[in-house]
Chain A
Amino acid sequence: MCHAGRLGERIGECYARRKEIRSEGLKERVGTEPSIAADPGWDALARTAAGDSIAFELLVGQNQDRLLRLCERMLGDVEEARDAAQEVFLKLYRNAASFRPRGQLFTLLYRIGVNHCLNRIRRRNLVRFFRFSDSGEEDGPAFEPADRRPGAAESMDARERWRAVRQGIDKLPPNQRAVLILAKFEGLSYREIAEVLGISEGAVESRLFRAMRRLEAAQESDRSTVSPAKRT
């Protein structure tokens, strides 16, 4: 009993440390601490609603990287992501007076951003449907990742990996895609994801699990199809 209790404590410590490491890594990626006690963004938004364009510019400047990254991850295209991010900021501006300060401003931005990107994806799927094209080929724009790593061979490998991941993500249902991107690439906690998407934490957990199952299957099938080709 005593041994089991100590083991439990150690496992708990281990996973707490894992969470800490994850949040540290995310801080590096995201750039700013996601949980600020009193978010000054709400104040900027209130001033924006009052017609202060400088406050709005500051607001955009503070959140542009985060929102652009989210849109790029969701849509898989840099240019489309820039358009989408601009439109999200415009939506924020238009409705600035109607938002009530609750939680963090970035949660609101993510919510608008995710919904906007999901709408774009749906529109894209609709266009594809009316074009009668193959769903496997034209799910999104051609993904040409910019490589910033040195070394040609590494670069080729990395590009292939990224392309495979991108294709896997594009094949996910939109809701699962959103959860996965928010969890993996934006580093949000389950609670934050639930808040952004307006769903329960259980739903986040289940969607993420299903998304991972699909990706795992896609990775397996990729390996099984690529391996014989590489051998020849």
Chain B
Amino acid sequence: MNRLPEIELMRLLHGELPPERAFELHERLARVPELAEELRRLEAAWDRLELPPASPAPSGFAREVVARVESGGLWSVAPTRVRAAAFGMLAAGLALGIGLTSSLARLGGGGDSSAAGTVAVAAPQVSETPGASIVPATPSASPSAATSGDRAGSSKGPAPVAPTVPTRTTPATPVPSAPETSTSDRVAELDYDLPAEDGAYADEGTLADDFWQAFDGTDSGASADPDTGSGSEGL
């Protein structure tokens, strides 16, 4: 049996078939009993399709819809495209913010030597661990540290970085006086641990160099002392 006439049976049932085609199909129905049986079954199944009458709209339905529109504000009634665009902009802004924050953090983490100095100087002033605050604090606290004549101050090494640090740190540290004293105190405290005279820790300059290398990845001149012009061996 051809499939096309079967499909056309539905059109025939609904009276949507053109008269000529209906006549042809009718002739075929007379010739092919299976097709006639199919039509009969389809018609019976169609007639059996019955559902309860639909519930009428509750009173005030229209008013309720309008109230929903009015109470929802602009956002709820904004076209889908507008809302999608707003969501997109929000997401883009969020991504941009996260990106900026992370790139700033990366800069502060050692990407740029001067920025590294900023963080290195600012952080130790609030830090409680003396070891972490010694060397980076020295450049910003150079007036006191340089004049103290101690070896920790003299061995801070990286002279080229030092001039840029105070200018950058000034806005970052609103109260400069108190941290400076505390830093020099800590440097002084450290001096007790450094047997400067006997040269047992003659490689202390190397400690500072390691520190700066860790920060800016540059070799600050391991043995060069800007003040003395000599290395740790000369101390």
Contacts and interface: CB of A to CB of B under 8 A. Distances in A.
Interface of A: 4, 7-9, 11-13, 15-20, 22, 53, 56-58, 60-61, 64-65, 68-69, 72-73, 78, 82, 85-86, 89-91, 93-95, 97-98, 145-148, 158, 161-162, 165-166, 180, 183-185, 189-190, 205-206, 208-209, 212, 215-216, 219
A165 to B, nearest CB: 6
A93 B17 contact: no
A11 B14 contact: no
Nearest to A70: B54
Given A22-B14, A60-B65, A60-B66, 20 more contacts: A11-B23, A12-B18, A12-B19, A20-B15, A53-B69, A57-B62, A57-B63, A64-B57, A68-B55, A68-B57, A73-B54, A78-B55, A82-B58, A85-B61, A94-B79, A146-B55, A190-B11, A208-B10, A215-B49, A216-B42
Interface stretch (B70-78, B115-123, B227-235): B70-78
A175 B194 CA distance: 85
| Residue of A11, A53, A61, A215 contacting most chain B CB atoms (<10 Å) | A11
A193 to B, nearest CB: 11
**Interface size classification for chain B:** 35 or more
Given A215-B49, A216-B45, A7 B23 contact: yes
A223 to B, nearest CB: 10
A205 B9 CA distance: 9
Contacts of B8: 205
Contacts of A209: 6-7, 9-10
A65 B57 contact: yes
A82 to B, nearest CB: 7
Interface of B: 6-12, 14-20, 22-23, 26, 41-42, 45-46, 48-58, 61-66, 68-70, 72, 76-80
A93 B54 CA distance: 25
A189 B65 contact: no
10 contacts: A7-B23, A12-B18, A15-B19, A17-B15, A56-B69, A60-B62, A73-B54, A93-B77, A148-B53, A165-B49
A161 B62 CA distance: 33
Contacts of A146: 52, 55
A103 B53 CA distance: 28
Nearest to A161: B50
Contacts of A78: 55
A205 B58 contact: no
A184 B47 CA distance: 10
Nearest to B43: A212
Nearest to A12: B19
B52 A184 contact: no
Contacts, number: 138
A3 to B, nearest CB: 12
A69 B54 CA distance: 6
Nearest to A180: B49
B14 A94 contact: no
Given A64-B61, A205-B7, A215-B45, A16 B15 contact: yes
B7 A72 contact: no
Given A56-B69, A64-B57, A86-B68, A158 B52 contact: yes
A86 B76 CA distance: 13
A166 B51 CA distance: 7
A162 B69 CA distance: 35
Contact of B80 (A19, A95, A145): A95
A16 B19 contact: yes
A127 to B, nearest CB: 23
B62 A183 contact: no
A73 B61 contact: no
A59 B48 CA distance: 34
B51 A185 contact: yes
Given A19-B15, A184-B46, A86 B52 contact: no
A61 B60 CA distance: 9
Residue of A57, A73, A78, A180 most packed against chain B (CB within 10 A): A57
